Structure 1
Amino acid sequence: MARIPYADPAQPDLREAAETIRASRKKIGHLHRMLLHAPPIAQGWISMFDAVRWNSTLSGKLREMVICRIAAINGASYEWNAHAPIALAEGMTQAQLDDLPDWEGSLLFDATERAALAYCDAMTKQVHVPEDVARAARDLFPPRQLVELTTTIAGYNCVSRVLEALEIKGSDPLPDA
């Protein structure tokens, strides 16, 4: 069970933020129910992650690949369970998804994917990206996409940290909203 109770989206002071979430996500799941405790943060969260997910020029496959890699590194099962099906729908194979936790030893990832995964690993595990890893990513991604890749990785590290710190689980019961 989560560390604090999930917010009730029907609460009058949460309705506006709840509607922002519904307009984007169609439903208010566990993570967003928790974020509703801080309505301005919930609304800003939706705005930022809508930009990261829907207004990026990165391929959906690459976006979801790094999101799932972050979930694997951080042990964020909620994040993995939410994004693995999206990764498959965006073009990752089940074999790639299975190899993602140990991608460096796999032959299933091309040069661009390997550069993105190395960049993701460095940002997630070390924060400071070594110059050779940064150069490899910079050589393959134009500036806009490098910024999009960087913010996707940073953003989804934030997601997993919120999920894990507050012990948000997809199996937690949610009261009707």
Structure 2
Amino acid sequence: MARVSLIKDELLTHVTELTEKIRGRRRGSLINVYRALLHSPPLAETWFDHMNAVRWDTELGGRLREILIIRIACLNDAEYVMRQHVPKLAEAEGLTVADCDALGDWRGSDRFSEAECAALAFADAMTRDVAVPDAIHDELSQHFNNREIVELAVLIGSYNMSSRVLVALKVDLEPVENQGI
């Protein structure tokens, strides 16, 4: 059960413009993360804008983005994030359920490219230790330019924020029809 109430539609009259903005980018749905965040409309709006920029306004490929989001969800035990991305969003970016399952032990898998493995090592270091060893950054820079490294760092940091907020607030999982939107 969520640690903060999920705001019901009839109580959203003071933030109609914001809820319409969110619904417009999420196929008409107002998912539970926003129903929780709307207790603080300014934070809900900046969260929405930031997370949309991280997902859609970078040069990172969709497959890589989903690989990292799912790995971070694994590391942080963020079931909400996992259920939102697997299988629907992951499959839309070319990942199979088997690929997603392999992310729990990606080092023991042959499903990921050298560049993806470098990004996964970067995500693991940022998530587990915050500080990234030079050797991991050096390997990352063999596969990604400066812009992409910045975008990777912001994506990883953002999904660590997201998963930690969702886990801390115990935001209720979406019903099946709202998963992956």
TM-score, normalising length from structure 1?
0.92
Question: Structure 2 CA distance, aligned partners of 1:91 and 1:9?
Answer: 35
User: May I ask how many residue pairs the two structures share in their alignment?
Assistant: 172
Consecutive unaligned residues of structure 1, counting only runs of 5 or more, are 173-177
The aligned residue for residue 8 of structure 1 is 8
Residues 7 and 38 of structure 2 are in contact (CA less than 8 Å); yes or no, is this contact kept in structure 1? yes
Identity of aligned pairs, percent? 42
Question: Structure 2 CA distance, aligned partners of 1:21 and 1:68?
Answer: 23
The aligned residue for residue 38 of structure 1 is 40
Question: Structure 2 CA distance, aligned partners of 1:19 and 1:154?
Answer: 27
Residues 64 and 84 of structure 1 are in contact (CA less than 8 Å); yes or no, is this contact kept in structure 2? no
Question: Structure 2 CA distance, aligned partners of 1:8 and 1:162?
Answer: 20
Question: Structure 1 CA distance, aligned partners of 2:128 and 2:43?
Answer: 26
Does the alignment pair 1:21 with 2:41?
Answer: no
When residues 171 and 87 of structure 1 are mapped into structure 2, their CA distance, relative to the original with a 3 A threshold, is closer
Residues 20 and 43 of structure 1 are in contact (CA less than 8 Å); yes or no, is this contact kept in structure 2? no
Matched residue of 1:22: which SS?
Answer: helix
The aligned residue for residue 122 of structure 1 is 125
Matched residue of 2:142: which SS?
Answer: helix
The aligned residue for residue 82 of structure 1 is 84
Shift of 1:166: 0.3
Does the alignment pair 1:54 with 2:46?
Answer: no
Does the alignment pair 1:139 with 2:138?
Answer: no
Per-residue CA deviation, residues 128-164 of structure 1 (Å, 9 max, x unaligned), is 0111011111221111111111111100111101100
4+ runs deviating over 3 angstroms: none
The aligned residue for residue 68 of structure 1 is 70
Does the alignment pair 1:98 with 2:98?
Answer: no
Residues 62 and 113 of structure 1 are in contact (CA less than 8 Å); yes or no, is this contact kept in structure 2? yes
The aligned residue for residue 179 of structure 2 is none
The aligned residue for residue 178 of structure 2 is none
TM-score, normalising length from structure 2?
0.90
Consecutive unaligned residues of structure 2, counting only runs of 5 or more, are 176-181
Does the alignment pair 1:160 with 2:163?
Answer: yes
Between 24-33 and 120-129, the greater mean CA deviation after superposition: 24-33
Shift of 1:55: 1.0
Question: Structure 1 CA distance, aligned partners of 2:21 and 2:168?
Answer: 24
